[in-house]
Amino acid sequence: MKVILVADHRGYKMKETIKEWLKEEGIEFIDGGCNSEESCDYPDYSIKAAEKVSKGEFDLGLFFCHTGQGMVISANKVKGVRAVLVFKSEIGKLSKEHNNANVLCFPAGYIELDEVKSAILGWIESEFKEERHKRRVKKIEEYERK
């Protein structure tokens, strides 16, 4: 399992905390920035990281900004990315099972750290339920190819 983490200035602190937790959990990751709380533009980080997920360089992207919305919008512009806004721990699990999501975006200003950790573990421990949801994800992929 390879993970890429990115944040803007408003998600920086949460990203840094999650990095330490990932180390403790033994989960391999790369930090794709940002590297401070100095104001920056989320698309500069989310699009580059989403491209790496789309190319298969990473299994999962963890993106952090204040509301999570900008990260979701920009990441989903990248072909092959299925980014979701995670606002409760159960969403991590369900986004894998139902949508085969490969990027989890967190609203750092509105979610507790324990919820984030639980959502990440839920995603990691879950499997895509192809028998029920494959046709739906396939429709998205077919549209992307147009």
The total of structural domains in the chain comes to: 1
User: Does 98 qualify as catalytic in the annotation?
Assistant: yes
Instruction: Go through the chain and tell me how many residues it has.
Output: 146
Q: Say how far residue 57 (Cα) sits from the centre of its chain.
A: 14
Q: Of 9, 34, 40, 65, which one is the catalytic site residue?
A: 65
Q: Which domain holds residue 10?
A: 2-145
- CATH number at 69 reads 3.40.1400.10
Q: Tens digit of pLDDT for each residue in 16-71? A: 999 999 999 999 999 999 999 999 999 999 999 999 999 999 999 999 999 999 99
Residue whose pair of structure tokens reads 């033994």 in the numeric block: 26
Report yes or no: 62 and 5 within 8 Å, Cβ to Cβ: yes
Q: Tens digit of pLDDT for each residue in 88-123? A: 999 999 999 999 999 999 999 999 999 999 999 999
Q: Of 9, 40, 98, 133, which one is the catalytic site residue?
A: 98
CA dihedral 76, 87, 122, 50 (to 10 degrees): 20
Report yes or no: 101 and 59 within 8 Å, Cβ to Cβ: no
Could you write out the DSSP letters of every residue in 48-72? HHHHHHHTTS-SEEEEEESSSHHHH
Distance between CA atoms of 32 and 50, rounded to whole angstroms?
Answer: 11
* pTM: predicted TM-score of the whole model, two decimal places: 0.94
